Structure 1
Amino acid sequence: MTIVILGSGNVATHIGKAFHALGHQILQVYSRDKANANALASVLNADTVDVVSEITDSADLYLIAVADQAIQQIVDTLPKPVKGIVVHCSGAADINILAHFPLYGVVYPAQSLRKDISTSLKNIPFGIEGANTEISDRLLELMRHISAKSFLCDSEQRLALHIAAVFVNNFSNVLFQTAYNIMQEQNLSFDLLKPIILETAQNVQKHIPKDVQTGPAMRGDTETIKKHLQFLMKNPYWLKIYQQLTEEIIRNKG
């Protein structure tokens, strides 16, 4: 298969390398920043393009792996018609943003990726959506060579997956940072919390999260909660987070 990669960031790098490793021919790598395009193109043995109008119209697949707010600009300037399937990699952008291409779909990796960190894609779920059943099946077959966990979904399911990923990844990480700050204020090492962080992550691999929920809110320990709230009065942001999450734990107890 011949492929054009539009983007040179985290997702473009990982998926581009995966396609290349499978023997697909990467024809071009596009990026507005030519240095970034050159860096990825050199790894993928591809040509560099920094002007969308210079992208070939004869590839089998066009992978748009850019920030959500940049997808529309790519779509508006990509040569039309093109031979192959045009896909984006967003969890939140609707599939219909690509609707004026003859063949289009979505390939969404439900994983936080960084191009400077080597990550195997074989166990990463890829949400696959096509404009029709034939395209969906073609994309699913293609992506299952990269990850057996690739699966079919619609736009609403993909959006739900993206939101849930924000909760478990981005939101949990900012809570780790809040905990880090609390520990730093008391001259305590964040390392003291790493065993419980690891235990929590391991528990949800085998259980429904609410079945392994612990803590004062789960126990109905109002006296401890009051002490915590009093301690947090000095920081209204931390206080509000604690209050809202405590309420959510109590709401989920039933």
Structure 2
Amino acid sequence: MLVLEPMNITILGSGNVATHLAKAFLSVGHHIGQVYSRDLGHAQTLASLIGAQATASVTKLHADADLYLLAVTDDAIAHLVDELPHTLRGMVVHCSGATDLDYLARFPRRGVIYPPQSLQKDIYSELADIPFAVEGHPKSAEDELLAMARKFAPTSFRCNSRQRLALHIAAVFANNFTNSLFQISYELLQAEGLPFDLLHPIMQETVQKALQHEPRTIQTGPALRGDKLTIEKHLQFISKKSNWVKIYQQLTEEIRSKKLN
């Protein structure tokens, strides 16, 4: 087993993932020296929580940190990497599910630690339940990063860039798109004076079954049964919402294409 010494970490970013990971690293004995954000106020907010120094300038980053964690939006990673001083000596790591490790190619020791979870900085999440996807170069850097992650998230695992992209897309379907469908359901009921909690039991049942079975084996509903009259009635009811009609039709076709023989 790889034994790690406490590290001095710089956090670049101040949002949801940055906040959760900063607290996680701190909780297992690492030190957060600096927090960087383009917005100094945002950097100061996170820095004050973890006893770190805030900065809004990459030129003021300390060159001697052991690890630089880029917890910023996917679109900001490449630009931030270009801005980082060449004098940085520690491992440089990003947290993106959709960004290749190669984006950090100019750093000799580099890595990725990606949580397939919807994190919000003001809402507690049990990181120990999250399987963080870890990749690194060289292998010694990956070993080190995986050992770090497993200190607060024991189910963390090795995952290459292609696998991580697939995991990210799958997470978008399972979480982001599903939550958007929940919102459509909410608006449908609200428009008819019905409370959203009427759907809580079926939502809970759906998730529970999906956790225990391959999802297509528990599929039900008019699309699976081929109830054309019901489908047409649904489409007519939502006809004024063209986006909803497209979603309904596309998901109906997807369900029918996965029908078990």
Q: For residue 202 of structure 1, what is the aligned residue in structure 2? A: 208
AA in 2 matched with 1:225: I
RMSD, aligned CA: 1.2
Q: For residue 170 of structure 2, what is the aligned residue in structure 1? A: 164
Candidates 108, 133, 139, aligned match of 1:133:
139
Q: For residue 151 of structure 1, what is the aligned residue in structure 2? A: 157
Q: Is 1:61 the equivalent of 2:40?
A: no
Q: Describe the SS at the equivalent of 1:66.
A: coil
AA in 1 matched with 2:111: G
Deviations 1:82-103 (CA, angstroms, capped at 9, x unpaired): 2211000011111111100111
Q: For residue 27 of structure 1, what is the aligned residue in structure 2? A: 33
AA in 1 matched with 2:100: D
Candidates 185, 190, 196, aligned match of 2:196:
190
Q: Give the alignment of 1:54-93 within 5 angstroms.
A: 54-93=60-99
Which stretch has the larger CA shift, 230-239 or 147-156?
Answer: 230-239
Q: For residue 3 of structure 1, what is the aligned residue in structure 2? A: 9
**Length-normalised TM-score, structure 2:** 0.94
Q: Describe the SS at the equivalent of 2:216.
A: helix
Cα distance, 1:234 vs structure 2: 2.8
Deviations 1:202-240 (CA, angstroms, capped at 9, x unpaired): 111111111111111112222322222222223222111
Q: Describe the SS at the equivalent of 1:90.
A: coil
Which stretch has the larger CA shift, 56-65 or 226-235?
Answer: 226-235
Which stretch has the larger CA shift, 154-163 or 222-231?
Answer: 222-231
Q: For residue 13 of structure 1, what is the aligned residue in structure 2? A: 19
Distance 2:199 2:44 in 1: 42
**Length-normalised TM-score, structure 1:** 0.96
Q: For residue 113 of structure 1, what is the aligned residue in structure 2? A: 119
Distance 1:111 1:142 in 2: 18
Q: Describe the SS at the equivalent of 2:111.
A: strand
The answer (yes or no) to whether the contact 1:81–1:102 under 8 Å persists in 2 is no
Q: Is 1:211 the equivalent of 2:186?
A: no
Number of residue-to-residue matches in the alignment = 254
Cα distance, 1:60 vs structure 2: 0.8
Which stretch has the larger CA shift, 224-233 or 17-26?
Answer: 224-233
